Structure 1
Amino acid sequence: MSRAWLSRVGALVLLSGVFGCAADRSGLAIGDGGARDGQFDGGFMCPEGTFDLDGDGRCECTFSSDVESCDGIDNDCDPSTPDGASDPTVGRPCDGDDADRCEDGAFVCAAAGFACEEPTDNDAELCDGVEDDDCDGVIDEGCSCTGDDTRSCGSDEGECSRGLQRCVGGVFSSCEGGQGPVDEVCNALDDDCDGRSDEALAAGCWVDGDGDSYAMAGAASQCAPAGGCPGGFTSRRPSSGAQDCNDGAMGINPGASETCDLVDQDCDGRIDEGVTSPCGGCTPGCAGEAWGEPFEPTDELAVTSSGELTLPREVVEAGDVWVANSADGTLTRIDAERALEVGRFHTGGTEPSRVVVDWRGDAWVANREFDGVGSVRRIASEPERCVDADGDGLETSTDSRVLDEDECAGPLIAVGELDEVPRALAVDGNVGPDGGGPGDLWVGLHDGEAVLHVDGLTGAVLARYELPGFSPYAASFDPWGALWMISRDGYLAQINRVAGEIVVDVREVPLPCYLLYGLDVDREGRVLVTGFSCDRVTTFDPATQRWSTVSTPPSVRGAVIDDATGTAFVAHTDGRVSQLRVDPLALEATWDLSAMGVAPLGSIGVGFDAFGRVWVASENGSASGGVATRLDPNEGQVTAQVPVGQSPHTQGDLTGAKRTERFAPSGTVTRVFRGCPTLDDAPSPDTEWLRLHALLDPGAYGTVILEGRHATTEAGLAAATFEELARFPGSTSPIALTFPTGGVVELRLTLEVDGAIGAPRVRRLGLEQSCPGPE
């Protein structure tokens, strides 16, 4: 303790002993004049070196030095001197975090110790990339750019081109140069630079393939440019009554005049209306009586939607679904009613895909065999057509297990040559004299550009027909016996057998894209095809030569038609199925096949069973791989999900929908022709019976027999005998008649078919007559 301090303490003691405590008016235990109070206000003294500074009876301050250091402690126990007031460091010059160009500051005592306090520099920060102008320790803060910086701006999409932005005052300028987006106009250019051309503009031009100023229903469209529609388009909207029915024939459209040639020139769905001769044909000046404009159905004969007379049909039950498991080389059989797999069979080759059911209910499957020779195999659906080879009882699969030697799997039949790839299967109506045969198999060789005729009983290849430039992808027979096939590049082939030879007629399908995929034919002979890459379904009616097209959800693939209702069903790759009305063609509904915890994907094949349900085979969806989904179209509900094998790339008639109807073997109808008119309505004695005119198609397996008998009166016909006048095929119309003059003639028309399909159709019959003129 220094002497100065001791003397000071002694003085305090003396003063306190003589005068008592100094007045504490500050409340800080400091007497007037700032002296320290070394004792309590009650008269008690603090221990030596301690002081009560706030008068609370505690000696909280301990004197340590007269030098007030910057350490957060009251070293001299004098509240009137701030912390660090006499510290030698305080006030010394210092430089903080800013750049050296800024002015130095001085150390100050702060709560956390010494701090360098610098003067504020009010210079604005320059975006120069060099100095900290505002001395805040950061260079060019808040600058978007510096100096002569530039950058590209805008877009080079569509009609746009990129420009340039320059650095001005630390901010990039607006985009200079280049071309920005503008409102879209009809010019086939991407004016608004969004990657699309002429989008959201109203349609004003429709595809007109034949240049007759009429477009088909569902034709592709575009907006109308300022200079009018380009070539190949028409500005006439294809509304009802103004729709072309054949965009490949300029003389066929709603504005054309009907001529007598078995073609619907005016696109009204009727043929030769109002232009046939009185005797029923197209012979100018022919007089007589016509029969069949239109025909009426009878107890033994039916009438088509085009008014043609034909044979009625009988229902054939079909209760199985067949799914080719492409990755496994197997064929699954499903009981449609129980939704249960009741057999799985080796197909004998690789990449099985196409399936068709014959007239006995057996299934044919084609192995595509991409690196070899394709093959087909038939799986018997009934035990009597299986072969117990070793005599120890029939061994065949009854569930998902595959037998190496299944006795219901027929022999493997090679079709075509190396790499010809069978991709189309169809069964014809050749069921034999007793009607109990299976029908023959027709195999389209995709890469071989040919079709094979295979005996449905023996498997022998009966004939090969070359189709140069046409690659069969799907096939189906129509009710009249014509074979229809598609090629994926947009062509439809019609194949008819005439006098033991085939006649091929190939048409281009009027779709705005190619990659045809699915095919089916309805009970009237209308052909339906799917356009996979343009999301369209198209129908073609051979009777009227009429095409129709409708848009569908994306990726439309397999197709099947329910003949009982005229409804078609098409599968979509994304696990959906759509329902369409065939005539007139229209999309009616689309359903998602996801249900029961299963989400099918890669949906391809579609079928229609005998119980009115739709089946769709999808490549993914079950733990085992593929799945067959059953849908009730009346309720729009999935009713079953049946696991199948790996990657079922199934196409064709997987449920036997094409054999649900077969024609009755025969039917007969008669008609009396009364000859020239008379005043009393009695038979004219002067009628000359000249010729019989017949407009008909005997069909692939059909026969048309025309017989006649003559009598003086209608009552006398019963005693007359019919004689054959003509038989088709074989006869040629018109047929000369030898009946006596006058009286009446009765014709008997008989239709027969020696097959399940291929029945005849009769459009018109007429008797040409000569009547006496006025005297």
Structure 2
Amino acid sequence: GTICGMGPCERRAECVDGVESECVPGLPGVEVCNNIDDDCDGTTDEDAGVQCGAGACARRAACVDGVEAECVPGLPGVEVCNDVDDDCDGMTDEGLAGTTCGVGACLRHTECVGGVEVDCVPGLPGVEICNEADEDCDDLVDEDFLGEVVITAYSTLGTFVGGCNGSGAAAGQACRSAIKRFCDGRRCRHTGFGPVESAGDTAEVICLAGRVDEWVTWATLGAQNVACDGVGERDGPNCNAAIHRWCANRGLVSGFGPVEVGPGAGMFAVCVGPRAEVRGTTYAVLSAHNRFCDGNGQRIGLECNNAIHLWCRAQGFVSGFGPVESSGGDVAVTCVRD
């Protein structure tokens, strides 16, 4: 009779009373490593070995003459965007760093979809609110809440830096550091300057948001004003000018400091951004707000802090600091908005 099928499925049609019946092959089985064509496809022991590993590491044990060898998985690689499990952990294209775009709340990463990296598209800027985040995606935090007038006490400031006690050193380095640390604990504020008003134990200071103190070396400041070298002068009109120019050269509006002075070769200063404005005036004008800030008796210090504060307020700002530049009777001060 006719033969049909192959391997274990091979059958022969029967011949009964001179009539050949239909030839029906046997049913294929599952291929195993036994030197037999179990699935009846004409090939012996193909795909018969045990599988091991996952993804790109997947391997099948070799089957030679019906004997199965040990299965050894491949070595994991580095995951890339290609729709393959390169690191052999059972997941595809996971944990890819990709490229980033945007800042703040707009920060986004490229995505890998179907093995293809999709272009990075930054999020849309929102409205800045007071929450320690950069909603409007300009790389500044809470900058629309720049200046805040805060009335405190020297006895409170003295808990941050002991030398800030209001007796003779109200405008000195101890109080600058104390005000910075005091403001750093207030919501949406990170640093500050002042005092801009002072009476007895009461001190009025300005706390700022959007910027933090930054380390700058005396050598860098000395390049802006040679007199601000950390030796002859560590704070004063020349260092005011040096800090202001350093900040302006970095694309910001102005700056003040030192808010902290370490034992090393530099200081911490604060740069302010777009909600500040440098304005020109004179000591004659400032002395109308505080008669002691006349360019003769005082060119910089507590009385001039007060005069600049009051002058900036008269210009529609919340306060100001400086002088950031001075020549004779002419001065430039930096006013800040609320």
TM-score relative to the length of structure 2? 0.27
TM-score relative to the length of structure 1? 0.14
**Computing the radius of gyration over CA atoms, which structure comes out larger, 1 or 2?**
1
Give the helix-richer structure, 1 or 2: 2
